[in-house]
Structure 1
Amino acid sequence: MKYAFLINNDKNSLYPLKKGMIEEAQSDLDVSFPQELIEFYNEVGCGFIKGSKGNINRFMDPISVRDFRKKEYDYEFFPDIDLYDDLEDELIFFEVDETVLMSIKVTGNDTGPVYYNEIKIADSLYEFLQCMSKDDNYYLSLINGA
């Protein structure tokens, strides 16, 4: 299993997806999720990665990804959501805390780079999750150096 390092960590709270969630979200958005994101959803699901105090580290389920993109339900009044309007080829999929969100680029390739704001912080979802599982603030050194 590719993501065993997350699944086998008892401090993480991970949940399988309900059947059809990925397809429903993709259809509603008229966007194909990156293959690596689909594989993660199928192998792991969604949930929370244990990290620093104060960080939520929530891997959003596909319906939450859709709702964020469409500014619906929980995200209708999300603070500063308009800042993410120009992310046409990216999907917000990970919430470090209520003001720090990560996106994955929809490239048409199997993998998609991960971004914090406009700064690339990983070449793939797998790399991002490996780094986050070791130090959930690793990206701060990348954005401070940019």
Structure 2
Amino acid sequence: MINAFEGLLRQELGNSKYVDYLRKYQKMEQLRRTKGEMIKISDVSEEIYEGLKEKDINVLLQMQSRLKDTIMLVLRLSKHYIFIVITYFLALAIIFSLGEVTYINTITSVILTIAFFYKTYEFLVNKYSYLDAYIVIAYKTALEKRLQELKS
């Protein structure tokens, strides 16, 4: 499973560019951990900006719309996860409060647990994709800069 940011970036920038930017941020992250250097978004942002120069304003506006939709999706996943946790535990409590443990209760509990683990995995993949978040910030900066330039 890929996270939402990775999917957007691969679609908008292409697989090879995405991998290049990811490697750059991995190197910067390693330098940050070992030498305490700050991660620079501007280098990648300028490179993305150069790639956006050849696109017209309608394409850029569609890219901006997809970026906003992806950011909203990630925020929605985080926001709804607490409700998933509460629902899971309430459902288990109801199932086991019925008294007698039957095969149906067991099968239902297993299915609920599998669904819960899937949603937890989805939440964690999207929550802790911090290197992709750096690339998204660089992408957003470059996109806004290019749109501002075209509008003025």
TM category, shorter: under 0.3
Name the structure with the higher strand share: 1
Structure showing greater radius of gyration is 2
Higher RCO structure (Cα 8 Å, ≥6 apart): 2
Name the structure with the higher helix share: 2
- TM-score, structure 1 normalization: 0.24
